[in-house]
Structure 1
């Protein structure tokens, strides 16, 4: 076990194993996708008609259990009472695991992205898609302070969210502490900094913090950051959208790995 790392004696939370999708169409799409493993479907009691029958039949074909629960329980688990339509499904995310488990692994990721306060689902989804395409080893998506991994995120990732190397923890500050304890220097991606992204020296093993859309990197995380990494922007624009900035970072890291 790495120095400073807490002992992991408890079982991973279901939130560290599944992505929950809700609404009739997303659930049917998950059931119809042969590449996805659906753990279970929850259907609100009292739902009848063609829609629920279609879901039950699709689940039966895939061998997925359908559990009838109260409409209130579906709303609570979905976290979105207006759009759950009385149905949700837990989809297995095979590469999702707790951050602590990833850091204890013999094959711990060399590069890790840490999302800090990114609340727009489209941005989170696009970052997951881009980072996965670039082969980034881990993307920390805290349970608090970041957009929930819901159908909006899945849609923005074009389905890649199910297979992304998502690492889970409580908050971005907790993740920053764990990464530092495990020996990862942290760099915040920004518009200015001592290190230029394209020409500055960057360690092979590091964590990169992507701050929120309005407030940037939080104070709690900023105090643990070793340096800022700047994307040069000669045009008259102050900053990039966080998902666009993440894409620049990810593929600059790819370029460096190929050149090295």
Structure 2
């Protein structure tokens, strides 16, 4: 965790949240008690901020100053809301292209995906508030700065974004091996959004039930899957090929 994107101290974190700062995650000391600490816990849960309870030793490694049992990671970017993202993209083009990441949790994969998305003209990336990789220094470096050039939206759950996109006339396509269709059988010419799943689990089954279409990459070797950032690149460039 980079020191220049940290807030430490219970009161400082409370004030940061109340002032509207974008907080990626809060680390709380296990077993800590007190009225102020409880106020912070309540605020974090009410604002649906990602958090975890950790031993004091981890907090000391993150920051050896007087952290009071709480350290927060601030996001280096401002996120957009789903309504604004869809509206602005629809005004900019007749065939917007969105990318949804269902808890991709490796920051280097995340950064590589952001870089490819920017290069392929994706109108926005949608991630879930909890469970995915944060936007931090590693993400920025791997994205080659693309993180500052493409809108990123956070939602409480990927399903929230999926419903909003479908209601806005945008087809949602899942990249999954659980289908007979390859990406070459699917049309990407209309407004659409592509969902990529996490490195280990793939797309959540409950999300998979709601998509409009599914597609997989043909794999001709013995290895059964591709790195998610590589697979994402293949999907995005097929969308570009069809739209040219």
Q: TM-score, normalised by structure 1?
A: 0.64
Does residue 23 of structure 1 match 2:8?
no
Deviation at 1:251, TM superposition (A): 1.5
Mean CA deviation greater in 84-93 or 135-144: 84-93
8 Å CA contact retained: 2:198, 2:228 = yes
Aligned to 1:64: none
8 Å CA contact retained: 1:191, 1:238 = no
Mean CA deviation greater in 240-249 or 84-93: 84-93
Aligned to 1:14: none
8 Å CA contact retained: 1:118, 1:212 = yes
8 Å CA contact retained: 2:103, 2:127 = no
Secondary structure at 2:190 match in 1: coil
Does residue 209 of structure 1 match 2:192?
no
8 Å CA contact retained: 1:112, 1:206 = yes
Does residue 223 of structure 1 match 2:206?
no
Does residue 99 of structure 1 match 2:82?
yes
8 Å CA contact retained: 1:191, 1:232 = no
Give me the whole-angstrom Cα distance separating, in 1, the residues matched to 2:80 and 2:175. 24
8 Å CA contact retained: 2:117, 2:236 = yes
List runs of 5+ in structure 1 lacking aligned partners: 1-20, 28-41, 45-69
Give me the whole-angstrom Cα distance separating, in 2, the residues matched to 1:191 and 1:176. 20
Aligned to 1:50: none
Give me the whole-angstrom Cα distance separating, in 2, the residues matched to 1:74 and 1:116. 28
Deviation at 1:133, TM superposition (A): 1.0
Q: TM-score, normalised by structure 2?
A: 0.68
Secondary structure at 1:97 match in 2: coil
Does residue 125 of structure 1 match 2:111?
yes
List runs of 5+ in structure 2 lacking aligned partners: 17-22, 28-58, 66-71
Give me the whole-angstrom Cα distance separating, in 1, the residues matched to 2:7 and 2:198. 35
Cα deviation code 1:168-201 (max 9, x no counterpart): 2222121112112222221111235343223543
Deviation at 1:132, TM superposition (A): 0.7
8 Å CA contact retained: 2:170, 2:193 = yes
Give me the whole-angstrom Cα distance separating, in 2, the residues matched to 1:222 and 1:90. 29
Quickly say closer, same or farther: Cα 1:90–1:170, change in 2 above 3 A.
closer
